[in-house]
Structure 1
Amino acid sequence: MPKAYVYTRFDGPETEALVDLDRPSPGPGQVLVAVRAAGVNPVDWKLRTGYRRPGESGEPVFPVVLGNEVSGVVLETGADVTGFTAGDEVFGNTATGGYAEYTLLPTDITAHKPAGLSFQDAATLPVAAATAYDGVHQLGLPAGATVLVTGAGGGVGSAAVQIARALGLRVVGVASEAKKDFVEALGAVHVPSGPDLAARVRAAAPDGVDGVYDLVGEEVLTEAATLLDDRTKLITAAAPPATVEELGGARVARARDAAVLDAVARLVIDGDLDPHVTGTYPLERAGEALREVEDGHARGKIVIEVAA
């Protein structure tokens, strides 16, 4: 039977297991995909702990397959599906989890993989790069403006730095001292994380910052907000809506459509965005891949590769 990496209840890593699951069947508006690669994201382990995305409701049916983004090959299409056929190489957001040999993708958040884009890189785009793209464009800063990106060394952060740079923005990136070289290689001015963050940002950007894209939340978000005169230019992907709204900002508004996936794929093809895949693991070692992200040690993106 097909393999999948799941969690069996809400809690810690001890709930995870590699199990046999029936191959899913596509419903209306879905395609069945043979997974070639799956991106690993912080939201994966957060969902395992019981975290709910803003606006999410309903109870999960255990076991739940981990993972939210994949690339692969279409095997079968559901009713009312147009634009996709068996054999198409695609990437997108999953309906039934991505750490698996097979998964279902809703066609409205699935895109065709360009020939020049590897399965590995494509698997990193639907969550991290798309979130970065949505947030940078939501800020709407003009070329030459300065944006502060917190969590700049992670998957979303590193993509946000590169997308902002491609739009002509100056970027100040907050990350640990261990990620200094990585953040600077992306084209950002590195500011080490830790207490008194605002003072270090002011020293690095004496003319001030025009926007903040927060990927950390909590006290980092609160301190970053003090750097802005216009709080409408404060967005976060790491804090609840109520928290950031109290500061005068907003959550990242996710487009969640194929047009954004096409756009970020084009950025990779054009050389403006490097997903920076820094680690790959086979499906049998999916737990190790998730630990690397959950422990906060990953730079760029971690990918689970599934054998063809």
Structure 2
Amino acid sequence: MPKAYVFTRYGGPEAEALVDVDRPSPGPGQVLVAVRAAGVNPVDWKQRTGYRRPGESGERDFPSFFGNEVSGVVEEVGEGVEGFTVGDAVFGRPVVGGYSEYALLSVDLIAHKPAELSFTDAATLPVAAVTAYDGIRQLGLPDGATVLVTGAGGGVGVAAVQIARALGLRVAGLASEAKKDFVESLGAEHVASGPGWTGRVPGGVDGVYDLVGGDVLEEAATLLTDRTRLITAGAPPEVVEKLGGSRVARVRTSDRLAAVADLVVRGDLDPHVTQTFPLERAGEALRTVEEGHARGKLVIEVAR
């Protein structure tokens, strides 16, 4: 039977397990994908604790799959599927599956993987890179403007800095002192996190893309004269709206996936995969992200 890394109930790491699962079958508008790689994101472990994204409701069925972005090869196609055939290399957001040998994906949430793009890099795009792209585009800053990215050393932040630079923006990146060289290598001006960090931001700021939330979000808001230029992916809508900003509006389409993949192919975006793990060590990958030790993106690679 195929294997998958799941959580069997809400809780901590003790709720996780590598288990045997039934191979899923694609329904109408779905494809079954043999997973080659799965991206690891903070939302993965947060969902294990019972977290729901804004707008989500209802209880999960257990065991519940970890993972929100995958790449792989189409094994089966469901009724009514057009544009995808068995053997196609694809990437996208799974309906069922993730850290698993097989996953079901809806055709409106996948895209063809360019030949120039590795399965490992493709698996980092559907959540982290697209979230970065959506936020930077939502800010709508003109060429030459300055955007502050908080959490610039994490998976979304790494992509946001590069996408902003590709769109002609000056970038200040808030991250720990240990990530200074890394953030600067992306083309950002590093701002060391910690008490008094707002006083270390060089020059004025025209927009903020927050990926941290909490006190960092509140402090970042003080740097803006126009609070409508405050976007967050790190805090709930009600929190940022009180500050005059808004939550990033996600665009979950195949076209958006393809646009981000094109940035990678053109050399404007490097996913910066810094560690890979086999499926059997998925728990170790999750711990690295959950404990805040990840730099760049972590990916689980599924052997074939």
The TM-score bracket by the shorter chain reads over 0.9
Cα displacement string for residues 209-267 of structure 1 (whole angstroms, at most 9, x for unaligned residues): 00000000000000000000111100000100000000000000000111111011110
Partner of 1:142: 142
Partner of 2:243: 247
Q: CA deviation at 1:81?
A: 1.2
Cα displacement string for residues 148-206 of structure 1 (whole angstroms, at most 9, x for unaligned residues): 000000000000000000001000000011111110000000001112221112xx22x
Q: CA deviation at 1:109?
A: 1.0
Gaps of 5+ in 2: none
In the alignment, residue 176 of structure 1 is paired with which amino acid?
Answer: S
3-state SS in 1 of match to 2:147: strand
TM-score by length of 2: 0.99
Give the whole-Å Cα distance in 2 for the aligned partners of 1:29 and 1:132: 27
Give the whole-Å Cα distance in 2 for the aligned partners of 1:292 and 1:164: 27
Give the whole-Å Cα distance in 1 for the aligned partners of 2:80 and 2:290: 38
Q: CA deviation at 1:10?
A: 0.7
Partner of 1:301: 297
Cα displacement string for residues 34-57 of structure 1 (whole angstroms, at most 9, x for unaligned residues): 000000000000000110000001
The equivalent position to 1:214 in structure 2, one of 210, 216, 225, is 210
3-state SS in 2 of match to 1:298: coil
Q: CA deviation at 1:30?
A: 1.0
Partner of 1:42: 42
Give the whole-Å Cα distance in 1 for the aligned partners of 2:178 and 2:106: 38
User: Is residue 2:255 matched to residue 1:236?
Assistant: no
3-state SS in 2 of match to 1:95: strand
List aligned pairs for 1:169-188, cutoff 5 A: 169-188=169-188
Partner of 2:65: 65
Give the whole-Å Cα distance in 2 for the aligned partners of 1:84 and 1:259: 15
In the alignment, residue 39 of structure 1 is paired with which amino acid?
Answer: G
3-state SS in 2 of match to 1:262: helix
TM-score by length of 1: 0.98
Q: CA deviation at 1:119?
A: 0.3
Q: CA deviation at 1:11?
A: 0.7
In the alignment, residue 56 of structure 2 is paired with which amino acid?
Answer: E
Q: CA deviation at 1:97?
A: 2.9
Corresponding residue pairs, total: 304
Q: CA deviation at 1:279?
A: 0.1
Q: Quick one: percent identity of the two aligned structures? A: 77
Structure 1 runs (4+) deviating above 6 angstroms are: none
Partner of 2:199: 199
Give the whole-Å Cα distance in 2 for the aligned partners of 1:26 and 1:97: 12
RMSD value over aligned CA atoms? 0.6
Cα displacement string for residues 272-298 of structure 1 (whole angstroms, at most 9, x for unaligned residues): 000000000000000011111111111
